[in-house]
Amino acid sequence: MYRDHTKVVHIGDRVIGGGNPVLIQSMTNTHTEDVAATVAQIHRLEQAGCEIIRCTVPTEEAAKAISEIKKQIHIPLVADIHFDYKMAIAAMENGADKIRINPGNIGSIDRVKAVVEVAKERNIPIRVGVNSGSLEKDLVEKYHGVTAEGIVESALDKVHIIEDLGYDNLVISIKSSDVLMCVAAHEKLVKETNYPLHVGITESGTIMSGNIKSSIGLGILLHEGIGDTIRVSLTGDPVEEVKSAKLILRTLGLRKGGIEVVSCPTCGRTNIDLIGLANAVEQMVADIPLDLKVAVMGCVVNGPGEAKEADIGIAGGKGEGLLIKKGEVIRKVPEEQLLNTLREELLNWGNA
Ligand code: SF4
C-alpha cells in the first residue's frame, strides 16, 4: 500500500507518512491577524477532532500573529503562503510548523532558495501544492487542456526545484475540483514519488455537494492506500470539514473510536419525529468518548430487529418508545424521555 511506504514527515509534534494514521486537517477562515478570533476557531476545531490547522499568511501582521496563536493552541499550525516569499520566511520565523507554497507562485529561483534555506535551518516541512486552476500555460498546451498528466508534471517540477536546492522534507498536494481528474492525478503521482500526500478535493462546494464530492474522491484514494493527511473543503463552518473527515476515515476503517449513529430512513410506520430525534442523538453523542454503535429507529415493529447490530438503540412508537440493547428490548420509555434515557445509558456505559 502506497501509504505504508511514504517518507515520514514531522509536523510539529505530529507525524504523517510511513503508514502512520491519516491525520485530519482544516483551515481557519478568520483573519489570521485577529488572534482572538483565530484561536477561538482553532479551539472549536481541536475539539471536533482537527489534528493540523492551516492559516493563511497574507501580511506581515498575520505572520507575527502566528507566534501568539501558537502559544494558545495544541495542534501544529501550517502557514499558507500565496505569492510573497517574505511571508513564508516570516511565518517560519514566527513558529509555523509547516508551510504550504506553490514554488511557481513565489517568483525567481533566488526567492524559492531563500525560503528553502530557512526551512532547512529549522527543519520545517514544506507542502508543495499545485492546483488544476493554476496549471502553467505550457503544460495546458502540451497536454491539450488541464489534465491529470499536466497536474502531476507540474507538481513534480516544483518538487525537483526544491530537491535540487538540497531539501526533501516535503509533502505534496495536487488538487482539482474535478473528482475523477483528481483521482487519476494521484494514481499517476504515486508511481513517481514516495513523499507523503495531502489529499483533498478543492472548491468542492457547499456542505451537501462538498461532502459528496469529497467522500467519493477521498474514499477512492484512501481505499487505494493513497493519502497521508486529508482535508475536506467545504463552503461552510470548518468544524463541518472535520466532522466529515472523521466520518470518512471511520467509514473506511481507518479510524476507530467515537459513537457511530445509525438511523432508519423512516417510512409509513413511523409515528414520531425521527428526523429530529436522530439529529438530536447525533449532537448528543458527539462529546461522549465511547466506541459504540447507536441505532435510532422509527418503529417498534421492525426497529428492534433492524437495530440488532447496534450496541444500544431506541425505537419510536406511539407516544412511547423502546430502549434496546444488542437487539433486545430492555424497557418502554415515554417518547419525550427517549433522548435523555439514551444519554444516561451512554454516560453509565460500562458501569452497569
Ligand atoms: S425501522 Fe420501522 S419506521 Fe424505520 S424504516 Fe424500518 S419499518 Fe420503517
| Residue found by looking up cell 526551512 in the block | 119
pLDDT given for residue 214 in this prediction: 94
Residues 153-164 have pLDDT tens digits of 999 999 999 999
Chain segment 317-328, per-residue pLDDT in tens = 888 999 999 888
- Closest CA to ligand 1's atom 1: 303
Taking a C-beta distance cutoff of 8 angstroms, is the pair 295, 310 a contact? yes
C-alpha to C-alpha distance for 146 and 321, rounded to whole angstroms: 56
Under-50 pLDDT residues of the chain:
none
Task: Give pLDDT, residue 205.
Answer: 83
Q: Which atom of ligand 1 is nearest to the CA of 303?
A: 1
Let me know: does 115 contact 106? Beta carbons within 8 Å: yes
**Would you say the CB of residue 271 lies under 6 angstroms from ligand 1?**
no
Please identify, by atom number, the ligand 1 atom nearest to the C-alpha of residue 298.
3
Residue 345 CA to ligand 1 centre (angstroms): 23
Position in ligand 1 atom list of the atom nearest CA 268 = 8
**CA 318 to ligand 1 centroid distance, Å:** 13
User: Of the candidates 207, 142, 139, which has an alpha carbon nearest to the alpha carbon of residue 174?
Assistant: 139
For residue 107, the model assigns a pLDDT of 87
Calculate the CA 100 to chain-centre distance.
16
Q: What is the pLDDT of residue 352?
A: 60
Q: Which pLDDT value is given to residue 287?
A: 82
Q: CA nearest 80: which of 129, 23, 113, 44? A: 129
